Chain A
């Protein structure tokens, strides 16, 4: 084969928008799958993945670098910055659908005391710690796009969106961070 330098180009590579109240930055590359499975397969898949797939709506589970987010009654979003969860799913015989979406999505990290306020500029969900505690996750909307929102800390969120919407998402968050 001809000699090619393999280079993965993240859509927002290196982008940071910082301020005292909030920092908006591009997340590093990750492996991601959309995992679909019926009830009976969940235990087997949890075992294969090494993380217990949560059954409670809107919750997540983590093990090491691997995070599994409940998105629907038979749907989980699993991401991992170091190892490919698709490979682990492939080992399970249980009926399921695991689709690689590592490149479909990209992620933005929003951190700081005003993180929730900035996301609430376009996301109509209640983001108090009471309503959306650390570890909470959900598909929702922000401005004119769909996102997956995942709270990783009291003042830290991960915003996942489809690749071609990431430019909009980043610009939106940066605009929302102005003049808080």
Chain B
């Protein structure tokens, strides 16, 4: 049986020998079996060397058979754009055409130049960065840092945009079960049969958890793994259950909100185009059952990182599930019982087991006898103190643990087990507090913070029978708590066999203890040794958080799943303090690294952020508009004609509006319908201006402040009826003004009878401005007398335009006679096109926001957010006239009285005339009184708006200048990098100062 690898054992495992899969690793082609992980398939092909470590570039193999893997990280590439770094070979399933490459090595995996760091490693001890590379000063930036950066970093980031698709889903359930081993399946079954809505997830491709390797476990008289599959099938067909495989619960957030990531296509050779690569599930569960199992720890001894050295249970997974023997001559080093099972399984499958090295003096267990009965040499009270070989383990050095002569035993694989660490990650993420259990030397769930419960190995429960009983009870109980009508599940499960999780050791083994200068790795990926942790303690790092940060222990991509407890124990020993005093472990999301794309899911490309367009957008686009982003809106910026740049287009538009007319899309302005008997009173409180006496059919410009007295928004308010107003806001201000008004209405002035409704998008708004505006619109207007006498500046009326209901405002943001026509939005384009068609032959142009800005600046009208910046009061902006003098209250009245608001030295809005008559000041340029002063200069103001005014034939600008109102006629200076520009302070009206054109 060699087609799927030389280490494949005939008759072993659950995969189908006929289902072969071709894949490549570092360019070489291999055959594996469907259902293999990359790690399993590589071991089957006798490949143990798969990566290089982070700092020392030491050769590394496959340590585990799951997501805790710190060493076997590879890059996986589907095509040029689909390259993913740092994929764990122990998780990635193979498929035809899978292309994997090793990482962090150059030029090749077997010969890596970076490995010189290993020889120089005494220099690169924990925290070495902090003590050196400081001299000479410039060298850090130019020499040391680039070198360190290039040496670090594992895999290579993709360089092209990711063409894959990701999906997201919110889901709700009564009971979420995290983990689908014997515990999780039992809990899910009990909850489901009780009638609860259940979601069950497991990170592996199939359910079973430890039953993947525990061959002797039997449930309901069946092989454990087979039971798991049947139970999964039973659950999957129930209407109240959702079963999610390849799905990792990565984050446990407030109020039982749990993030899951489902890997949908990475295991497929040719996924369908519409399938998402991954799907994010955001689950709100009434109860959560955590059945996350436990993770086996490695033994800490010299050179414990040689390829071929792995966790005992991983070897069982490879053998019992994949049918792969990890070696032919396999040593075992253990501190508990569970590694014996690995030795026994391998022995039975034909591998030689030269010795089981058990650090315990008198292991009293049937498995010991069973091993001996199979003829395996068991060395109790012994330790492995070193491993030989470089690219693959070749031997183990065995000594009596209390000293004595060493024996070197040749091996081609070495299995180890220091015991099992309960996976309290999700419990800890839920903000539960773990507690140290002195007796079993492990952290277990202590105080719960949310409605969840831990069952099975992650709860420190030993034995299959106990686990299943606990899980059934938890499942039933959760169902009852979540759902009043839950019934008795009636589920009973018979168990036989199954391993134990208790026992073992933590910390460094013999030969790697204090004073030993050996590389006994605690954190494989980050190359943290037992010695490094002791050094950290020696340097005063007495909190485990300091030790962790100083050594980087536990900060690699496996987030310390193997290393945390060992590191803590070594630090505690060095400090001579009990473990809980050195620090409790807390875990943060994510449990395993989680793809950005999955987290983002649909919110990419077009769905990154809504793009809001007005009803007339398509017509504007057809007319050649260039658009600008204003918040989420796309607004027509200017309409260049062939050969025109922005400048030329804007100049033409500005001229045309003043000479003939122009049409502008003002739809994006916010609109609020204010209705009720107290509507005027309410507006009177919300605006600085008085509103009580505004006549029906009249418009008024209003300024809104917050309590601090700074300008918050502005707009025009029209009175449609005694009890009905049409309020406009700035484009960006629409939502916050609405919120601000609702806040006051609901909480401060609840007695006022007023209702607010946003009508921002009900109306399309078409501004027609210029001397011919009336002539252009008149043929289409019904029911409104447009004459200046009947309909003067700042009036409004309801009627029809182009046959549809309209609110027509006689108003102007340009200084020209003009109209703003509001029509129901779905008619907007029709009205726009009609007016355009009619106005064009008369000389009317379309104009965009840039021209609007120039024209309003020619008139000195402010733009909130450009000429104000959140620190400008109505008085500063020269709008004192808009603050009701007789009003006794309005929002902002008190803020405007504060000492520094009324003091001298306020920056006030003025006009600037550039002395040379040509230079357009840069917006944002700073103003000084004395241009000759040294840096740092005293700045007395800044240019808020500045344009070339084609209508004035010169540049115009507005600026906020300290005591600007008192500086009329003064000369000030704008220092630019290459020269100083002289300006004269003026008022802000540059065009038609008398305002006659408004009334034309």
Whether A164 pairs with B613 at a CB distance below 8 angstroms is yes
Whether A117 pairs with B803 at a CB distance below 8 angstroms is no
Whether B602 pairs with A6 at a CB distance below 8 angstroms is no
Q: Is B842 an interface residue (CB 8 A)?
A: no
Whether B611 pairs with A167 at a CB distance below 8 angstroms is yes
Report chain B residues within 8 Å CB of A9: 615, 826-827, 829-830
Whether A120 pairs with B169 at a CB distance below 8 angstroms is yes
Report chain B residues within 8 Å CB of A29: 826
Q: Is A124 an interface residue (CB 8 A)?
A: yes
- Enumerate the 4 nearest inter-chain pairs by beta-carbon distance, A residue then B residue, closest first: A97-B755, A164-B612, A168-B610, A97-B675
Report chain A residues within 8 Å CB of B780: 1-2, 4
Report chain A residues within 8 Å CB of B834: 2, 4
| Stretch in B134-142, B274-282, B459-467, B915-923 with 4+ CB within 8 Å of A | B274-282
Report chain A residues within 8 Å CB of B603: 143-144
Residues of B within 8 A of A (CB): 165, 167-172, 197, 264, 272, 274-276, 282, 284, 601-603, 606-607, 609-615, 633, 673, 675-677, 753, 755, 757-763, 779-782, 800, 802-804, 824-827, 829-830, 834, 838
Contact with B along A1-38 (1 / 0, CB 8 A): 11011111111000000000000000001000010100
Contact with B along A153-180 (1 / 0, CB 8 A): 0000000001111011001100110110
Please measure, in the bound complex, the distance between the C-alpha atom of A8 and the C-alpha atom of B825, giving whole angstroms.
9
Please measure, in the bound complex, the distance between the C-alpha atom of A145 and the C-alpha atom of B610, giving whole angstroms.
8
Q: Smallest CB-CB separation from A146: which chain B residue? A: B735
Q: How far is the CB of A14 from chain B (nearest CB, A)?
A: 14
Whether A2 pairs with B838 at a CB distance below 8 angstroms is yes
Whether A34 pairs with B830 at a CB distance below 8 angstroms is no
Q: Is A95 an interface residue (CB 8 A)?
A: yes
Q: How far is the CB of A32 from chain B (nearest CB, A)?
A: 9
Whether A171 pairs with B606 at a CB distance below 8 angstroms is yes
Whether A178 pairs with B675 at a CB distance below 8 angstroms is no
Report chain B residues within 8 Å CB of A102: 762, 824, 826
Please measure, in the bound complex, the distance between the C-alpha atom of A122 and the C-alpha atom of B603, giving whole angstroms.
10
Q: Which of B167, B611, B673, B677 contacts A95 (CB 8 A)?
A: B677
Report chain A residues within 8 Å CB of B676: 95, 97
Please measure, in the bound complex, the distance between the C-alpha atom of A122 and the C-alpha atom of B673, giving whole angstroms.
30
A-B contact pairs, 21 of them (CB 8 A): A1-B782, A1-B803, A4-B834, A36-B675, A36-B755, A97-B673, A99-B757, A100-B824, A102-B762, A102-B826, A103-B762, A104-B761, A120-B169, A120-B171, A125-B170, A143-B607, A144-B607, A145-B610, A165-B610, A171-B607, A179-B274
Q: How far is the CB of B1000 from chain A (nearest CB, A)?
A: 23
Report chain B residues within 8 Å CB of A144: 603, 607, 609-610
Please measure, in the bound complex, the distance between the C-alpha atom of A105 and the C-alpha atom of B603, giving whole angstroms.
23
Q: How far is the CB of A8 from chain B (nearest CB, A)?
A: 4
Q: Which of B170, B760, B802 contacts A124 (CB 8 A)?
A: B170
Please classify how large the interface on chain A is, using the bins under 10, 10 to 19, 20 to 34, 35 or more. 35 or more
Say yes or no: A101-B762 contact (C-beta < 8 A), given A1-B782, A6-B804, A144-B610: yes
Q: Which of B264, B602, B782 contacts A176 (CB 8 A)?
A: B602
Report chain B residues within 8 Å CB of A124: 170, 282, 284
Report chain A residues within 8 Å CB of B824: 8, 100, 102-103
Q: How far is the CB of B329 from chain A (nearest CB, A)?
A: 48
Q: Which of A5, A101, A168 contacts B611 (CB 8 A)?
A: A168
Q: Is A109 an interface residue (CB 8 A)?
A: no
Whether A95 pairs with B753 at a CB distance below 8 angstroms is yes
Say yes or no: A165-B612 contact (C-beta < 8 A), given A4-B834, A7-B830, A36-B757: yes
Q: How far is the CB of A160 from chain B (nearest CB, A)?
A: 12
Q: How far is the CB of A30 from chain B (nearest CB, A)?
A: 11
Report chain B residues within 8 Å CB of A95: 676-677, 753
Report chain A residues within 8 Å CB of B272: 179
Say yes or no: A100-B762 contact (C-beta < 8 A), given A1-B782, A120-B171, A176-B167: yes
Please measure, in the bound complex, the distance between the C-alpha atom of A162 and the C-alpha atom of B614, giving whole angstroms.
11
Report chain B residues within 8 Å CB of A8: 824, 826-827
Q: Is A149 an interface residue (CB 8 A)?
A: no
Say yes or no: A2-B170 contact (C-beta < 8 A), given A144-B610, A164-B614: no
Whether A99 pairs with B802 at a CB distance below 8 angstroms is no
Please measure, in the bound complex, the distance between the C-alpha atom of A34 and the C-alpha atom of B761, giving whole angstroms.
13
Whether A126 pairs with B762 at a CB distance below 8 angstroms is no
Q: Smallest CB-CB separation from A33: which chain B residue? A: B757
Report chain A residues within 8 Å CB of B763: 103
Report chain A residues within 8 Å CB of B673: 97, 99
